[in-house]
């Protein structure tokens, strides 16, 4: 819900009844941090979310994010808001999956190992939910979803057994296709050459799609694209290979739903050591 400046008089009485609203973003930003690294990072991230909502004149959301920033500054970081507390009009399934991932990692101690990434994940998840509840600003929904998706892979409780190392190869596909183009085959040839030189322990092949079509169809298309690349690599004695399909769930370039985007129609290949 948007509360514009012209509506402040209308809610002044409510403020008197319910206590002062948390609209002092600068004052909250200046509060000394009493908590650990995660609480400190969460304080900062919530302030950034509150500042954005000031620009939108969405005072209910300013109140929400500033209030949570205060708790973090006082050394009492709030738990991630549950999706059930919002009336989500968009992305409900993806938000639910993201929430479970975040909560599981936090329960396992990820906030001690990766405090900044976990703080970013929590603040962006809640901003994503806020935008999905409003449901009418497609670009902002895509933006907040994309920022969460960038942060959450690094919010982990244990070091990952396989770490991707540069370079990252990008192999692009035609719309709604898993066919390898001439340009794609040239990139695969470069991968084979570097594999022989680097001798990594694993080659990670991940398929992506744009947001046209259903989630299920895009997961299948992402898998077909990954398998098309893996098939050529295997023929060149590249192994072991780990294939994954993200479909439209982790967009290289965040967009709204039902948007054709060439950058998102890709397979990424990385080496693990």
pLDDT of amino acid 14? 37
**Token pair listed for 45:** 């991230």
Mean pLDDT of 153-178: 80
Query: Which of the four pLDDT bands, split at 50, 70 and 90, describes residue 167?
Result: confident
Q: Show the CA angle centred on residue 151, arms to residues 146 and 157, nearest 5°.
A: 145
Say if residue 166's pLDDT is above 90: no
pLDDT at 4: 36
User: Residue 159's pLDDT band (boundaries 50, 70, 90)?
Assistant: low
Question: Given a cut of 60, is residue 6 above it in pLDDT?
Answer: no
CA 180, 183, 187: angle at the middle one, nearest 5?
90
More confident: 167 or 224: 224
In this predicted structure, what is the pLDDT of residue 189?
Answer: 95
Kindly report the number of other CB atoms within 10 A of residue 214's CB atom. Answer: 10
List, for residues 192-235, the tens digit of each pLDDT value: 999 999 899 999 999 999 999 999 999 999 999 999 999 999 99
Mean pLDDT computed over 86-101: 95
Residue 81 sits at φ, ψ, to 5 deg, of: -65, 135
Task: Give, in degrees to the nearest 5, the angle at Cα 60 between 58 and 66.
Answer: 100
- Residue 149 CA to residue 266 CA, distance in Å, equals 17
Q: How confident is the model at residue 13 (pLDDT cuts 50, 70, 90)?
A: very low
256 vs 138: CA distance, rounded Å: 5
164-272: CATH superfamily: OmpA-like domain (3.30.1330.60)
The predicted pLDDT at position 89 comes to 96
Return the DSSP state at 259: -
Q: 31-90, pLDDT tens digit by residue?
A: 999 999 999 999 999 999 999 999 999 999 999 999 999 999 999 999 999 999 999 999
Burial 220-244 (b: 16+ CB within 10 A, else e): bbbbbbbbbbbebbeeeebeebebe
pLDDT at 135 over 70: yes
Determine how many CB atoms are found less than 10 A away from the CB of residue 125: 25
Whether residue 141 is predicted with pLDDT greater than 80 in this model: the reply is yes
Q: Is the pTM of this model over 0.95?
A: no
**150 pLDDT above the threshold of 60:** yes
Position 267 confidence tier, pLDDT thresholds 50, 70, 90: very high
What is the domain partition of the chain in residue ranges? 5-154, 164-272
pLDDT number for residue 161? 53
């Amino acid at each position: 819900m948007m509360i514009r400046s012209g509506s402040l008089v209308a809610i002044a009485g409510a403020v008197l009844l319910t206590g002062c609203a948390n609209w002092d973003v600068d004052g909250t930003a200046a509060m000394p941090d009493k908590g650990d690294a995660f609480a400190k990072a969460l304080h900062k991230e919530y302030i950034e979310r509150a500042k954005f909502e000031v620009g939108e004149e969405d005072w209910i959301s300013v109140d929400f994010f500033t209030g949570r920033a205060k708790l973090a500054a006082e050394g009492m970081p709030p738990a991630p808001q549950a999706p059930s507390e919002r009336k989500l009009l968009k992305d409900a399934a993806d938000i639910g999956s993201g929430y479970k991932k975040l909560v599981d990692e936090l329960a396992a101690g990820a906030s001690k190992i990766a405090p900044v990434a976990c703080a970013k994940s929590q603040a962006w998840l809640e901003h994503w939910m806020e935008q999905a509840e409003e449901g009418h600003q497609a670009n902002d929904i895509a933006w907040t979803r994309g920022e969460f998706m960038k942060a959450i892979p690094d919010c982990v409780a244990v070091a990952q057994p396989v770490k991707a190392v540069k370079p990252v190869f990008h192999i692009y596909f035609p719309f709604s296709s898993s066919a390898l183009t001439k340009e794609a085959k040239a990139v695969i040839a470069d991968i084979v050459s570097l594999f022989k030189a680097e001798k990594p322990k694993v080659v990670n092949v991940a398929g992506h799609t744009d947001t046209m079509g259903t989630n299920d169809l895009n997961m299948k298309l992402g898998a077909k694209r990954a398998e098309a690349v893996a098939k050529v690599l295997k023929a060149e004695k590249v192994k072991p290979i780990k294939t994954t399909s993200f479909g439209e769930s982790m967009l290289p370039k965040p967009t709204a739903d039902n948007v054709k985007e060439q950058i998102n129609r890709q397979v990424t290949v990385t080496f693990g050591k």
